[in-house]
Structure 1
Amino acid sequence: MNSSSTESAIAEWVTILGESGVVKAGAADYGASTIGTKRSIPAVLRPANRDQVAEVLQVAQRWQVAVYPVSTGNNWGYGSANPVEEGCVILDLSRLDRISNFDSEMGVITVEPGVTQGALRDFLDQNDGDYLVPVTGAGPTCSILGNALERGYGITPITDHFSAVTKLEAILPDGTLYRTSLSELGGAEVDGLFKWGLGPYLDGLFSQGNFGVVVSMTIALAPAPETVTAFFFSIKDDARLEALIPTVRAVLRSLGGSVVAINLLNSQRMLSMMTPFPEDKAVNGVLPADEVDSLANSHGIPAWSGVGAIYAPKEVARAARRTLRRLLGPVTDRLVFINQRKVNTARRIAGLLPARLATRVKGMADTLSGALEIMHGTPNDVALALAYWRSGKLPEPGQPKNPARDGCGLIWFAPLVPIRGNDVRRYIEMIERICPQYGVNPLITLTTINNRCFDSTVPLLFDRRDEEATARANECYRALYEAGQKEGFLPYRLNIDAMGILNTGDSAFSRLASQLKAAVDPNFILAPGRYIPGSSVPRSDEL
């Protein structure tokens, strides 16, 4: 697109949104990103309602200027608020932050893009909403809607967040409003209670797609259970992992109603939560195996740690604990159950201990308390400290963490791995082989997203101030993807620099997705390049 078209469009957007609704001088600030990529952003648009979103898109069509919507822009590790392609105007939807249609009896609620995990928690607390927020480790400032559209997940009872979406409304690229057929027929209430609607399921096009700007979403909330009990387990010997993996699958199959997700973390991932990065011990940015072992021993960290939660009435929770002991006991070295009462007891005990030991016990209690908050559906930023392990400056206590703003270097590699012992071993060997070649420490988490499949999150941490380290981290991602493609471990989600992965080959998927995009958005003005193969075409004034 040429600059005159962009300037003409911006002039019209100022008329629609007002001077305060169009950011030009500070547009570059939106380009801060933990992955080290920075796009050219001509302007940022900040509409206050869906009508303004529709008018913005109509102007974009008229001038053929590409726009890229973000909910809050806190998509850390995947590109933050940056568009896939250069020169897109950012459509910042954070001012659309209404919460409405809360049905406390049915447990459904409607949110706009700017509604964060923290805002939803506050709303439920103020309106006697005895439900859990679908939290993630990204923290209180991140969008509920944005995470669901990216198919994010957590460890609260509704693990798959897009599965909780019962209906959505979106502004199509021509400015018209999309609603599902049940709502169009007058059944808005039942539409919010039943995910699949009537006729073809089109809502899925808006998940990891660029077919419209989603302006509201109705989600089902998990009711707060009578009890939430965390359980922690570990194995000291890495060789026992193959025996543990099928047991994890057996736990989910046996206790699927009360235990919905389990995390497994390797020793390096646990170290990143418990100690600053020992730069003086690293070789080319990577901790040698003997240093990892030494640090793990000094902090009492086993080869693999596991965590999950029981969501159930008291009598069911007691039975679940017995089942967990029966299944996990033979294949683990340690299994403990923790609730808030036990954490409070640990804090009281810490006050009676010598200073050094008290600090350690209190730190452990604080970590456990943060984990329990997440399990109770209360967001916090405890997990965000990971992003600061290699670079970035932690904000002052009480201030929200923002890894993009604070200089952190982080790229997420998030492949799917079958819950089978031999597959997990092949996967771990792949990560441990490739990451050190690029100066990246192999921090591995495996999270069950059902009883068949893990999603593994591997944070590629690097010093963002170092251009060479940034380049190596991006090369590491590409090497992991290519190796994973051969081994069968492909990501469930892509960062803005990896979207080209879907733009290779002439598959039926690629052709259909591109044909649908061309039909809905013939000028390709909405989020060009985002997930849809072949969706990037020259603007008319470039031909």
Structure 2
Amino acid sequence: MTNHAVESAIREWKGLLGESGVVKTEDTNIGFSTIGAKRLIPAVLRPQCKEDVSQIMVIAQRWKVAVYPISTGNNWGYGSANPVQDNCAVIDLGGINQISDFDPEMGTVTVGPGVTQAALRDFLDQQKAEYLVPVTGAGPNCSILGNALERGYGITPITDHFSAVTKIEAVLPDGSLYTTPLSELGGSEIDRLFKWGLGPYLDGLFTQSNFGIVVNITIALAPCPETITAFFFSTKDDTKLEKLIPSVRAVLRTLSGSVVAINLLNSQRMLSMMAPFPENKAIDGVLPSHEIEALADKYSVPAWSGVGAIYASKEVAVAAKRVLKRILGPVTDRLIFINRRHVRAAQTIAQYLPGSLSTRLKGMADTLSGALEIMHGTPNEVALSLAYWRSGISPQPGVPKNPARDGCGLIWFAPLVPIRGKDARRYVQMIEEICPQYGINPLITLTTVNDRCFDSTVPLLFDRNNEVATNRAKDCYRALLSAAQKEGFLPYRLHIDTMDILGSEKSTCHLAEILKSAIDPNHVLAPGRYVSKIEKTGA
């Protein structure tokens, strides 16, 4: 790719999109990244419809200039809005933000890449539609479509967000439009209601790949249940983890459909939500065990905390509480049930308490309120504060949080772990041994993605303005990845600086690479993203 080719492509893109549709990187938030990655980006393209995207790809292929699509670019901890490789023009799809084909009876809706969690919530509220938004902790301004294509998940009833996708429409690398066979045959309505379509299932090829630019998806929404009750449990004794894990699995199997997901958090992860980071108490950036114990005692934080929600009718919810007490009671020190009414009461009481007691109760009630709103399918920024814990940066009041823009250092390590006590212990010991070696505090969450498997999210938090700390965090990720691979705890997604590991392993069948070379022989679309090119060898 030559400078002449890039300049020629940009000139044609300006003719297509106008001057305002092709902008310099420095005039946007694109280029910032919580993982400390920096890419050379020749231009940012802002299409407003799928036809624009199609023509962008035609021009890209003509000049063999690489492009990289993003939805909202808020891919915190995985690369944000940055391409995998240098010299890719970024296609910012945020302007394709239409919500269409909403079926209030069937609960399906079609969204473009720029539709955020907050936008879908507002739309459903305006429609007075009793459905839940598939929220995550990433915040209100993150893309519904982007999260589904990364195979993200949450704790609302449809936990696996891609499983809710019933239909995909995408622009292929040559600019042609991919639609599903049912829609091509005239069955667009039934296509929105049935995930698997007709013939080979191809929609999945567009997740975690570079086979096309998805311009809209149809998703099935979970209906609002009669009641939503959060439950919180904890154990002060770390040695009880092995007994707690099979009990979590038993809850999911016994209450399938009512309790869909459970989070387990270690004490340091809980403290990151409740207390400012005591920098003066840290040694090489890491809190010593006695300081952790002192903080945990001050804030009444146990060794392990758990949270989940009951989505059910009133009668079923009553029965579910009894089951939870029976299964979790013997392996926990505390099990409580909380709904919105309880939180409002606590917030009211806090107003009449003196000094620090009032502050502490209000802080706890506000955190619980944020967690409950997420369980109700309403996005908020309560979990996003984590990214700021080690940054020394205070978000501006009234300004939406943006960890990449604001200078936060965050890399997500997100491996899969079997829901077995002995495997969870092996995994926790691995994290607790490796992270402190690199100045990283081991903050651990275990989230059930089904009744067999956890996805663990470990935030590697660091000072992004410190080059040494940034490099150590990157080294920590590589060390964790290497150790986890030996132990069998592989990640469910990768960040942009580690996608090379997929091309480093020998395989007898490079099917993904073969497909990529067939539909994008010039490797113009998102080169290096999960699927790389086949390296040809001589005879």
TM-score bracket relative to the smaller structure: over 0.9
Q: Does 1:215 align with 2:204?
A: no
Runs of 4+ that moved beyond 4 A = none
Does residue 89 in structure 1 map to residue 86 in structure 2?
no
Indicate the residue corresponding to 1:140 in structure 2. 140
Q: TM-score, normalised by structure 2?
A: 0.98
SS at 2:383 equivalent: helix
Q: Secondary structure at the match of 2:95?
A: coil
How far the C-alpha of 1:349 sits from its partner, in A, is 1.6
Deviations 1:197-250 (A, max 9, x none): 001100000000110000000000000011000000000000001000000000
Counterparts of 2:493 and 2:535, CA distance in 1 = 19
Contact 1:392-1:406 at 8 Å conserved across structures: no
Q: Which residue of 2 aligns with 1:166?
A: 166
For the residues of structure 2 that align with 1:392 and 1:284, how far apart are their CA atoms? 16
- Alpha-carbon deviation of 1:507? 1.1
Which residue of 1 is the match for residue 254 of structure 2?
Answer: 254
Q: How has the CA–CA distance of structure 1 residues 251 and 176 changed in structure 2, closer, same or farther, with 3 Å as cutoff?
A: same
Structure 2 partner of 1:201? 201
Conserved? CA contact 2:25–2:41, under 8 Å:
no
- Decide whether the 8 Å contact of 1:240 with 1:331 is kept in 2: yes
Partner of 1:541: none
Identify the residue that residue 75 of structure 1 maps to in structure 2.
75
CA distance in 1, matches of 2:314, 2:101: 32
- The aligned residue for residue 367 of structure 2 is 367
1:31 is matched with which residue?
31
Q: 1:299 to 1:535 in 2, by over 3 A?
A: farther
Is 1:524–1:535's contact at 8 Å kept on the other side of the alignment? no
Judge conservation of contact 1:27–1:44 (CA < 8 Å) in 2: no
Match of 1:436 in 2: 436
Counterpart of 1:488 in structure 2 is 488
Residue identity in the other structure for 1:390? R
Deviations 1:418-473, CA, capped at 9 Å, x for gaps? 00000000000000000000000000000000000000000000000000000000
TM superposition shift of 1:26:
2.4
Contact 1:70 1:92 in 2 (8 A): yes
Structure 1 residue 520 and structure 2 residue 519: aligned?
yes
Question: 1:376 maps to what in 2?
Answer: 376
C-alpha spacing 1:35/1:536, structure 2 compared with 1 (3 Å): farther
Q: For residues 392 and 411 of structure 2, what CA distance do their matches in structure 1 show?
A: 14
Letter in 1 for 2:532: P
Contact kept, 8 Å, 1:53 with 1:171, in 2: the verdict is yes
State whether residues 160 and 449 of structure 2, in contact with CA within 8 Å, keep that contact through their aligned partners in structure 1: yes
- Deviations 1:356-384 (Å, cap 9, x if unpaired)? 21111111110110000000000001100
- Compute the displacement of 1:347 (Å): 1.5
Residue 22 of structure 1: aligned partner: 22
Q: Which amino acid aligns with 2:185?
A: L
Task: Show CA shifts across 1:519-540 (max 9, x none).
Answer: 1111110000000133699xxx
Q: 2:466 matched to 1:471?
A: no
Instruction: State the partner residue of 1:105.
Output: 105
CA contact (8 A) 1:432 1:442 kept: yes
**Take 1:60 and 1:348, find their aligned partners in 2: how far apart are those partners?**
58
Other-structure match for 2:8: 8
Give 2:199's aligned amino acid.
Answer: G
Pair 131,482 (structure 1): closer, same or farther in 2 beyond 3 Å: same
Secondary structure in 2 matching 1:118: helix
SS of 2:269's partner is helix
Q: Deviations over 1:330-373 (max 9, x none)?
A: 10000000001111111122122212211111111101100000
Within 5 Å, which residues of 2 pair with 1:496-507?
A: 496-507=496-507
Larger CA deviation: 496-505 vs 68-77: 496-505
Q: Within 5 Å, which residues of 2 pair with 1:377-456?
A: 377-391=377-391, 393-456=393-456
Q: Deviation of residue 394 (structure 1)?
A: 2.9
Partner Cα separation in structure 1 for residue 505 and residue 427 of structure 2:
26
Q: Deviations over 1:171-209 (max 9, x none)?
A: 001110000111111111111101000011000000001
| Secondary structure of residue in 1 paired with 2:52 | helix
Give the match for residue 533 of structure 2. 534
Q: Which residue of 1 aligns with 2:122?
A: 122
Aligned mates of 1:420, 1:36 — CA distance in 2 = 35
Q: 1:296 & 1:110 partners in 2: Cα distance?
A: 45
- Structure 2 segments unaligned to the other structure (5+ residues): none
- Distance, in Å, in 2 between the alignment partners of 1:137 and 1:285 is 25
Moved more, 80-89 or 340-349: 340-349
Where 2:406 maps in the other structure, the secondary structure is: coil
Distance in 2 separating the partners of 1:494 and 1:120: 27
Q: Is the 8 A contact 2:517 2:533 kept in 1?
A: no
Tell me the SS of whatever aligns to 2:30. helix
Matches of 2:128 and 2:40, distance apart in 1: 45
Kept in 2, the 8 Å contact 1:132–1:224? The answer is yes
Match of 1:328 in 2: 328
Q: Report the more deviating stretch, 302-311 or 357-366.
A: 357-366
> Quick check: 1:392–1:409 contact (8 Å CA) kept in 2?
no
- Post-superposition Cα deviations, 1:89-120, rounded to whole Å, max 9, x if no partner, equal 00000000000000000000000000000000
SS in 2 for 1:347: helix
Q: What is the Cα deviation at residue 30 of structure 1?
A: 1.1
Q: What letter matches 1:529 in structure 2? A: G
Instruction: Return the alpha-carbon distance in structure 2 between the equivalents of residues 536 and 438 of structure 1.
Output: 34
Q: How far apart, in 1, do the equivalents of 2:534 and 2:452 lie?
A: 33
**Once the 2 structures are TM-superposed, how far is the Cα of residue 24 of structure 1 from its aligned partner?**
2.1
Q: Which amino acid aligns with 1:521?
A: D
Contact 1:27 1:41 in 2 (8 A): no
Q: What residue identity is the alignment partner of 2:101? A: N
1:55-95: per-residue Cα shift (whole Å, max 9, x none)? Answer: 00000000000000000000000000000001100000000
Whether contact under 8 Å (1:528, 1:536) holds in the other structure is no
Distance 1:224 1:198 in 2: 30
TM-score, length of structure 1 as denominator length: 0.98
Aligned to 1:303: 303
Q: Counterpart of 1:61 in structure 2: which amino acid?
A: Q
Greater displacement, 349-358 / 474-483: 349-358
Separation in 2, partners of 1:341, 1:508: 58
Aligned-partner residue type, residue 524 of structure 1: H
Whether the 8 Å contact between 1:394 and 1:401 is mirrored in structure 2 is no
| Residues 94, 115 of structure 1: 8 Å contact kept | yes
What is the CA distance between 1:398 and its match in structure 2? Answer: 2.1
- Change in CA separation of 1:242 and 1:200 when aligned onto 2, cut-off 3 Å: same
TM superposition shift of 1:506: 2.8
State the SS of the aligned residue for 1:311.
strand
